[in-house]
Structures are given as structure tokens and as C-alpha cells.
Amino acid sequence: MRTVPISRFVDSSIPSGGLTTTLIAVVTDVVRSGKPIVGFGFSSIGRFGQQGLIEERFAPRLRDAAFIDIADETGENIDPFKAWNVLMKGEKPGGHGERCVAVGTLDMALWDVAAKVADVPLYHHIARLGPKTSVKAVRAYAGGGYYYPRDDVGRLVDEVKRIRDLGYTHFKLKMGSLSLAEDLNRIEAVAKVMSASRNVAADAMNSYGRRGALEAAAALSPFGLWWFEDLCDPLDFGTLADVARRYEGPIAAGEALFSVAEAKLLEQHGGVRKDKDILLFDPVHCYGLPGYLEIVREFERRGWERNRFWPHGGHLFTLHLVQGLGLGGTEVNPFSFQPFGGLTDDALITDGRVCAPDVPGIGFEARTATRRAFADLLGGG
């Protein structure tokens, strides 16, 4: 296990707030081609590393468990749902804080193990949890658009052109840290590259209070954006509901909510609309796939369709979940948060659609930069 810095920018010399993530490897006693099967995971993107919680609290529970407590019905593979119950043993409701990210990090590695032991891609391994008709390719948009310290608009336009040339049809940029006029100028510049503002989403990164959120929503209305994301504090459901009553375009929310209890509050009090709004819960930050499924199923009981779910993350794990669970689409970070953002080396984006890699597990090994990071973790250089 190791905690490492990650940057929002391709140029890692640009300050990125000290952001970190934790890499983890789960080494099994199952041997294939002379080597043990190893499951890899990391703490997704946007929070901080969770090495302390994993080492002191959750990994010991997993190590101390009898195999029967985490085995599937065949007795030849692990059942990540049973392993998740072991990780959460003795945990009280509430207090989600950062423990949800620690559990989600381990959970990712366990799903990688289970799919590798089954010798299938992860999306195939979890297909029983998804729609009856399998999804062949999923919608994908590119995330990025952070503020550059110099020549911001010029460098932003260059970034978006590179993303467009990769085959992405939709792009999400950041707003809320400059004046509203400057942010609108950034949106206009991106819209020109992406053909129209309807192909652009704006992420305010939870920066606005009620007044600022309403002002921004009013200013954005004429653009007809793809969606307006994370416009206020994650738990300020009153402000979110006020904006939803006034803003006709789609709103995206949920990235910084980490439990089914918080998700229920969003649905009940946030004014989100099941016919147009987008749900951004990060599967790793929601206690992993078991916790994320609780949220999906809760919203389904309330009349939401799975195509409203576009999980936050922008990496291979979320791509597999979208394809396996039949969700709306996935974020991809082609240039940000390296070496974990982006897809495999040979991934082909066609008209904004992409397929998960057809290799056992998640496929981190099929991305050179990520493979090297995990090899270094294992002492392989």
C-alpha cells in the first residue's frame, strides 16, 4: 500500500492542492502462469489518500477473516459482497467521513481479484447485477478544464481541442473560482471547440452559496448547457432545490454524498428531477460497489431510471460499472489525475462512446502508466 500525489493537470508542476490517492494491492494464493493473482485498487479521485484507515482498521479485518467468510458459493473465488460485510463489521451507522473511501479502495481491489479469478472482465463478472440486455458500448464524456495559472483560456482551448480529437463529443470544465463573467468567457471558448454549448457541462465544485448559485444559474440558462454540476455545498439541499425550481436545464449532483442515507436526503429535499437531472455518486467513495448499488436500487424504487447515473471518477473501474450495471454513461479524465485518469492504451472513443477493456479484471495492466505505478508498489520497478 502507498499514498502518492496526483495532479489535476498534465503539467504536475502546477499546484494542485496537495491532492493524494492511495494505491493498494491484494495478493492472493491463486497462481496462474506461475504468478499469484493480484487485485489492484486506488482511492478514486478528488478526496485524499486513506492509508491510515486501511492499515489500522479495515485491512486487518480482511486479513483475519476465515476464507469461508469471504468465499463465493463455489468455494473457489471470493465474494466481494461477503468481504464487504467483513470490512464493515462493527461499524455504526453515520460518521461516513473518510471511512467510506477507505472501504471503497479495498473493495475495488477485491472486485479486481474476483473477476481475475473468474478470468473475465469486471463488467462481465457483475453483469448479473445489471440489465438483462448487455450494454456493448457506453457514452463517455471528458472531464478537465481546471484553471490554468497563466494564459488560462488559451491553454483551456488547447486542452479541449486535444480531447475533441480523441473522439469525445462532450466536455466538462470547472467554474466558480473566478468572476462569473470570466467563467462565462471560458464556457463560450469551450463551446466553440465542442460545436455547441449543449455539448458542455459546467462543474462549480460546490463553490456557491444560495445567492451565487441563483446568479450563476440565471447567467447559464441562455447557454443550454448539457448540465450544471455541484453548484452548492453537498448538504445544502435548500439551495439546490431553489435552483432546480428556477433553472430549466439539467442539474448534476451527488458527487460528494457517500451513503444511501445522504442520497435519500438529496432525492427527498434537493429538488432533483428524475426526468432530466444527473446523479454523480462516486462508487469508490460510496463504500465501494455494494454501497453504490444500495443507492442505485433506492433511486430505482423511487422511480428513477439507471440512465440518470453517471458516476464520478473518470477511470477504468467506473467504466466497467457503467457497462456492467447499464448506467447512463461515464466520465473519463484523459489528461488529469495521472496515472489513474483515462482508459487503456488502445482504447478507442468513437462518437463519444467506448467499451471497457476485454481483459480479466479491471484492466489496469492494459494502461502503461497505471501498470507501472502498481508494479512499483509491488517492488517490480
Is 354 in contact with 319 (CB distance < 8 Å)? yes
Is 310 in contact with 252 (CB distance < 8 Å)? yes
For the residues 8-29, what does the mean pLDDT come to? 86
Task: Give the separation between CA 324 and CA 275, rounded to whole angstroms.
Answer: 23
Question: Based on the number of CB atoms within 10 Å of its own CB, is 298 exposed (0-12), middle (13-18) or buried (19 or more)?
Answer: middle
For the residues 148-152, what does the mean pLDDT come to? 93
Please tell me the pTM assigned to this model: 0.95
Residue 312 is a catalytic residue? yes
Each residue's pLDDT tens digit, 194-216: 999 999 999 999 999 999 999 99
For the CA atoms of 39, 342, 259, 85, the dihedral, rounded to the nearest 10 degrees, stands at -10
pLDDT score, position 381: 47
Catalytic annotation, pick one of 125, 170, 172, 312: 312
Each residue's pLDDT tens digit, 25-64: 999 999 999 999 999 999 998 888 999 999 999 999 999 9
Sequence ranges of the chain with CATH classification 3.20.20.120: 127-362
Catalytic annotation, pick one of 96, 124, 125, 174: 174
Residue 174 is a catalytic residue? yes
Is 303 in contact with 274 (CB distance < 8 Å)? yes
Each residue's pLDDT tens digit, 128-141: 998 877 788 999 99
Task: Give the separation between CA 254 and CA 325, rounded to whole angstroms.
Answer: 18
**Alpha-carbon torsion (264, 246, 253, 308), positive or negative:** positive
Sequence ranges of the chain with CATH classification 3.30.390.10: 2-119+373-377
H helix or E strand, kind and range, residue 176:
none
pLDDT score, position 380: 62
Query: Which class does domain 2-119+373-377 fall in?
Result: alpha beta
Burial of 248-282, coded b for 16+ CB within 10 Å and e otherwise, reads ebbbbbbbbbbbbebbeebbeebbbeeeebbbbbb
**Alpha-carbon torsion (124, 129, 132, 137), positive or negative:** negative
H helix or E strand, kind and range, residue 227:
strand 227-229
How many Cβ atoms sit within 10 Å of the Cβ of residue 5? 11
Task: Give the separation between CA 216 and CA 223, rounded to whole angstroms.
Answer: 12
Each residue's pLDDT tens digit, 274-308: 999 999 999 999 999 999 999 999 999 999 999 99
For residue 208, the cross-strand partners are 232
127-362 homologous superfamily: Enolase-like C-terminal domain (3.20.20.120)
